[in-house]
Chains A and B, each alone.
Chain A
Amino acid sequence: MSKPNLHSINPIKFLKMDGIRKQKIESAEAKPLPPLSSYVPNQLAAALHPEKQYLKIVDVIEHSSDVKTFVFGANKEKGTEALAYFSAGQYLSISIKVGSAVITRPYSLSSSPKESLEGKYTLTIKRVKDGLATNYILDNWTVGTEVEASAPLGDFTYEPLRDAKKIIGLAGGSGITPFFSLAKAIADGDEDAELTLLYGSRTMNDVLFLKEFNAIAKKCPKFRLVNVLSDEDAKDCEHGFLTAELIKKYAPVDEPYSIFLCGPQAMYDFADKEIATLGLRRKFIRHELFGEYHNPQRNEDYPIKGTEKFSITVHIAGEAKVVEANANDTILCSLEKNGIAAPAHCRSGICGWCHSRLISGEVYVPKSVDGRRLADLKFKYIHPCCSFPVSDVEIEVPPMK
């Protein structure tokens, strides 16, 4: 028997290939190529993840002098025809100009995903003492104001293959907004989960959306609101804080449950200690973003004592500028204060949108917000939104899109 060979294949075939190809090309039409918008995956990508969304305020609901809900529609004159659909719990990154500073802020959508299909988003914003953005927004935004936003972003969403079907929500203060969206999504049948919301407030007066929540609970047995008041006793409410005991009281006994937390840092600090005593697996505990990092001085490993100033040399698409920065401000804030627009979304070190190259100098990144990737550490990239200068630094930042 002969060895395995290719004698049965005629090598002349090779010489014919050129002609076959030529013929194939010749016989094709020389028509213009279809645009990207003609392909289904590209259409969906554009609808779900638009580069930008141009919005216009169509209504303002004043809850108190310090809390307002802004109702947005698509700003069609600017080119946004429809609002992107989202998962309850996602946020918009808003860009605003305050004086000479161009800043961004992430705000959770308080409207339901379903409402986005009707052309409506809402953001509920609470005044933060000395807050640059919230003060500006509450004092200036009104019906007709045009606002530029990102696509919906963020991972603080219910994921059916990951999370338990029963969710215990822990909300504090304005951290209630994503839960308002989730409660509506559950009632609308858009998320197949059950939510028991433990909502921490000082007094009944501080509770947002009380009427709306009660209306949802009335028509949807999968949602329940428990107000947890620290500073007063009220009918049908819990008195105190978001403790492990309280969670146990409302959590299912014989089946797994997920805890979703959204609130101020102080609430996380308290609730995390309480949750730790419950012995839950990590996968069942989900935090919303921690938000802007202030006061790095509180950390033991922070190397700067006092109030030093450093210079930041920043390169953006071939142009260089030098600005002076407080050591205690994030690099992103220092750029913004100096009128330099820089890309940012989550402002919590996680999303990577501000990914920038550290050319020289040293920065301090608090461990809890260091969302850099392994290769970023190797090749010296930083997230300016949570990096503090500890020497003069030179960085390259991508231009705003």
Chain B
Amino acid sequence: MNNYDVIVVGAGNGGLAAAATTAKNGLKTLLLEKHNLPGGCATSFSRGRFEFEPSLHELCSVGTKDTPGKVYKVLDGLGADIDWRYEYNPYRAIVKGKNGYDVTLSGSIDGFCDSMELAVPGCRESVRAFLALAEKNERALAYVDQKNGNPNKLVMAAKYGDFLRTASSSVNDVMIALGIPEKARRILETYWGYLGVPCDELNCMHYLSMIYGYIKEGAAMPYRRSHELSLSLCKVIFDHGGEIYFNSEVTEFLYDENKRVIGVAVGEKKYYAKEVISNVIPHNVFNMSDPSAIPTTDLKLANAREFGISVATIYLGLDCTAEELGIKDYTVFVMSEADSRAQWDKRTEGSLYIVNCLNMVIPDSSPEGTCTMFFTMPIFGSDVPKDLKPQDYKKYKNELAKKYIQDYEKLMGLDIMSHIEEISIATPVTFARYLGTPEGTIYGYKTSDWDNVIMRTQCEAKEYTIPGLSFCGGHAVMGDGFSCAYLTGSSVGERVSKRIKEGGNK
């Protein structure tokens, strides 16, 4: 009776989308989750009268029913019932100090270029050219798709040269080649933290596809925090006869004599399937596998990779409204250095943090007369002090929170501290606890220079070679972020469905 078509391990965004896809395709699907709730980062938590969003800043590539983006198509196609809300202003970027700036960017391509021109006179044409590359890339990718991933190289070189250039260059290199003035480059770099790689290393195509999506389609958020996203996908799974077992941590991946994955163990219990999809990071999967079943390339790849960033976050429930407090923006990036590499280098000194106020998008996301604030600092799990003892952890968290809150109070002239009715502070330790990832990474592997998403996608078939096992989620080919996790989950789910229906084998 423990035989399934597909077992999905981990109910993070990727796992939920994968299981929803295979269940909807009529396959007998079991989703196993170690925690008592679905979603991984996509959840919510309550403190007093507040329900907090733990991780989502904004989803890109959603769009609306009439102009659906990629993510909307996937989720809506699955039948996920989500009440979307939108924010069309990309961000406000503040760089502190003498040569700093305070710029608020507007949405839509024209609006964005207008606000860039206002901030840096003379940059409009080069900024527009930068964003236009995103459109060119989409056309190139459509061609690659049409040729089933085997495009004619001459056609690519002749027609899609700029695609090859942006796909093989860093954000900085492309911006410099386009002659974008330095200050405008710095402002354009602001979103790097969402991908966790500074712009002298971050693949330009990867960055463009994200930033262009935000500017063109706006950002979307579920009305009931990310918990709504996760439960909507659970419903799809249940509606199509799939099963989800919570509190069920997979402890071993099972292989047959041909080193093919045939199932998983949850403690004493064993579950078998034709194919297994892992939303769990390869590092953990390999450590739960017979070492002789791991192909050398896969193991070398895992050893070669660096973990992506984690975050420290502060969740505040305040006993005054955003208006009373003087908050005007949904997203504010606060930086002490203008360029992303310097922010990266000085990340533990508070060189970059992001402040969100969900009430600006969803006014009733907290009770009347209150508002919430959400601070995010990109840091690595390895930035947590090595000698930090459990008994000093509370103090560490509170000192961290105090530093950032006071910095923001001073910068914006706000009184936040005296209004704190609820507070919760998360660090990489928190994410290590809830996600179970090495170092508490939330971004899987760093999409570094050589390990960028373009090459991950191109090399996928050669690198993830264990028969019967596929990967999806933030650590997978498309990189991190809610959107990418849904997209890889869905595409892996479709691929596995197709294989099983055709009786083929991976």
Whole-angstrom CA separation of A318 from B4 in the bound complex: 13
Main SS class of interface, A: loop
Encode contact with A along B140-180: 1 for CB under 8 Å, 0 otherwise: 00000000000000000100011011111100011001111
CB distance from A317 to the nearest CB of B (A): 5
Q: Is the CB of B398 closer than 8 A to any CB of chain A?
A: yes
CA distance A317 to B271 in the complex (A): 12
CB pair A11–B165 under 8 Å, yes or no, is yes
Given contacts A49-B433, A283-B319, contact A85 B247 (CB under 8 A): no
- Which of B235, B247, B319 is in CB contact (< 8 Å) with A398? B247
Contact of A161 among B173, B234, B405 (CB under 8 A): B405
Give the chain A neighbours of B304 by CB distance below 8 A. Answer: 24-25, 27-28
Which residues from chain B contact A17 at a C-beta distance below 8 Å? 168, 450, 452, 454-455
Binds B, one of A54-62, A376-384, A385-393: A376-384
* The stretch of B95-103, B436-444, B491-499 that contacts the partner chain: B436-444
Chain B: minimal CB distance from A64 (Å) = 33
Find A5's partner among B51, B129, B430 (CB 8 Å cutoff).
B129
> How far, in Å, is A399 (CB) from chain B's closest CB?
5
Report yes or no: B432 in contact with A42, Cβ–Cβ below 8 A: yes
- Please, which residues of chain A bring their CB within 8 A of the CB of B47? 155
Contact pick for A44, options B297, B382, B388, CB 8 Å = B388
B210-218, B327-335, B352-360, B389-397: which one contacts chain A? B389-397
In the complex, what residues of B have CB within 8 A of residue A376's CB?
227, 231
Enumerate A155-197 residues with CB–CB distance to B below 8 Å: 155, 159-162, 190
Are A161 and B429 interface neighbours, CB within 8 A? no
Known: A28-B300, A41-B381. A161 touches B164 (CB 8 A): no
CB distance from B415 to the nearest CB of A (A): 13
- State the CA gap A119–B430 with chains docked (Å): 24
Convert B26-48 into 0s and 1s, putting 1 for each residue whose CB lies closer than 8 angstroms to a CB of A. Answer: 00000000001100000011110
- Evaluate whether A343 and B247 lie within 8 angstroms (CB atoms) in the complex, with A20-B450, A371-B46 already known: yes
Instruction: Classify the secondary structure of B's interface with A.
Output: helix
User: Which of A3, A162, A375 is the one whose CB lies under 8 Å from B224?
Assistant: A375
User: With A39-B438, A283-B420, A399-B248 given, is the CB distance from A30 to B299 under 8 Å?
Assistant: yes
Would you give the shortest CB distance from A394 to chain B, in whole angstroms? Answer: 12
* Given A30-B296, A35-B287, A398-B247: A375 and B225 interface contact (C-beta under 8 Å): yes
A102 to B457, CA, bound (A): 50
With a CB–CB cut-off of 8 A, which chain B residues contact A13? Answer: 164-165, 168-169
Of A203-211, A231-239, A297-305, A349-357, the one contacting chain B is: A349-357
Q: Across the interface, which residues of B come within 8 angstroms of A4, CB to CB?
A: 125-126, 129-130, 178-180
B51 touches A373 (CB 8 A): yes
When the two chains form the complex, which single residue of B234, B384, B405, B422 contacts A41, counting CB atoms closer than 8 Å?
B384
**Of A4, A18, A27, A283, most B-chain CB atoms within 10 Å:** A4
Closest beta carbon of chain A to B436's beta carbon, Å: 7
Given A3-B125, A5-B129, A375-B225, A30 contacting B303 (CB threshold 8 A): yes
**CB neighbours of B129 from chain A (8 A):** 3-5
Given A17-B454, A44-B388, residue A378 in contact with residue B228 (CB < 8 A): yes
**B129: shortest Cβ distance to chain A, in Å?**
4
Q: Is the C-beta of A215 less than 8 angstroms from some C-beta in chain B?
A: no
- Find out whether the CB atom of A162 lies under 8 angstroms from the CB atom of B390: no
A87 to B228, CA, bound (A): 31
Contacts of B297 in A (CB 8 A): 25
Q: Are B283 and A42 in contact (CB under 8 A)?
A: no
A350 and B429 CA atoms in complex are apart in Å by 23
Q: A266 interface residue, CB < 8 Å from B?
A: no
Chain A positions 68-119 with a Cβ under 8 Å from a chain B Cβ? 84-85, 87, 113-114, 117
The interface bits of chain A over 23-55 (1 if a CB of B lies within 8 angstroms of the residue's CB, else 0) are: 011111111111110011110110111000000
Identify which of residues 85-117 in chain B touch chain A, using a CB-to-CB cut-off of 8 Å: none
Q: In the complex, A355→B286 CA distance in Å? A: 31
Q: Kindly state the separation between the CA atoms of A16 and B249 in the bound complex, as whole angstroms.
A: 41
Residue of A nearest to B428 (CB): A41
Closest 5 CB pairs of A and B: A28-B304, A283-B421, A11-B164, A374-B224, A398-B246
22 residue pairs A–B, Cβ–Cβ below 8 Å: A9-B177, A11-B165, A14-B167, A28-B300, A30-B300, A31-B299, A33-B299, A41-B428, A41-B429, A45-B429, A45-B440, A84-B390, A87-B394, A161-B417, A283-B422, A318-B243, A373-B224, A374-B44, A375-B232, A376-B231, A379-B231, A399-B247
Q: Could you list which residues of chain A lie within 8 angstroms of chain B, going by C-beta atoms?
A: 3-11, 13-14, 16-18, 20-21, 24-36, 39-42, 44-45, 47-49, 84-85, 87, 113-114, 117, 155, 159-162, 190, 281-283, 317-318, 343, 350, 352-353, 355, 357, 371, 373-376, 378-379, 381, 398-401
